[in-house]
Amino acid sequence: MKTTTTSVMLVNFLMIFLISFSASAQKYQAYNLEQIMKPTTKSRTSFNTAQVENINALIYDLNPTIFVEDQKVKSYDEKDPLIARVKPDSWNLLSQDEEIFNSIELITLQLPQANSFSQTLDLSGFKSFNNLKYIFVECTGNCTAGQVERIFRNVGEVTVLYVVSTPE
């Protein structure tokens, strides 16, 4: 009787441990872009100068860009695109096998608010994004790191960035 109780407790402990380990393995941090750009913030210590310069160039410089909207992938440049600007209604296209996705380093998503996007996006389905380094979420309303983090699953080595912007 005592052996059975001990065995049940051991099995329960192992199950809880494995579930906790699995959940923590999926955890990642979304970074506020404004904090990364300031050299004296805690978030900045997670990035070296070259990474910050690369992020800045991808977001603010003129780069070859594709637009994923209205259930279509639109390209207006002959160069390999570095940026994919994606409307929330067309996220499903990102899991398609498209050669044009191979060179993308940054995906930009504009959201009215992070909590207005109810879909969870699993990046493990983004098979064609061989060079994807960053996902950048532009919230035009109020959003927090936690809200942004709930949007994405299986981010792997991809860095998730966000910014709260005020519409003009």
pLDDT number for residue 78: 81
Residue 16 lies in a domain: no
Judged by DSSP in three states, 9 sits in helix
Residue 7 has pLDDT above 50, yes or no: no
Residue 19 has pLDDT above 50, yes or no: no
107, β-bridge pairs: 84, 135
Residue 64 lies in a domain: yes
Confidence of residue 168 (pLDDT cuts 50, 70, 90): low
pLDDT number for residue 58: 97
Number of domains in the chain: 1
Residue 58 lies in a domain: yes
pLDDT number for residue 166: 74
pLDDT number for residue 88: 83
**Given CA atoms 150, 140, 92, 94 in this order, what sign does their dihedral have?**
negative
**Given CA atoms 89, 149, 102, 126 in this order, what sign does their dihedral have?**
negative
Residue 21 lies in a domain: no
Per-residue pLDDT of 94-150, as tens digits, reads 999 999 999 999 999 988 765 666 778 899 999 999 999 999 999 887 888 988 999
Are the C-beta atoms of 56 and 34 separated by less than 8 Å? no
Residue 7 lies in a domain: no
Give 85 or 38, the one with higher predicted confidence.
85
pLDDT number for residue 102: 95
Residue 77 lies in a domain: yes
pLDDT number for residue 120: 84
Residue 122 lies in a domain: yes
Per-residue pLDDT of 37-52, as tens digits, reads 887 777 667 888 899 9
For 108, phi then psi, to 5°, come to -110, 130
Residue 12 has pLDDT above 60, yes or no: no
Residue 164 has pLDDT above 70, yes or no: yes
Residue 11 has pLDDT above 60, yes or no: no
156: containing domain: 28-164
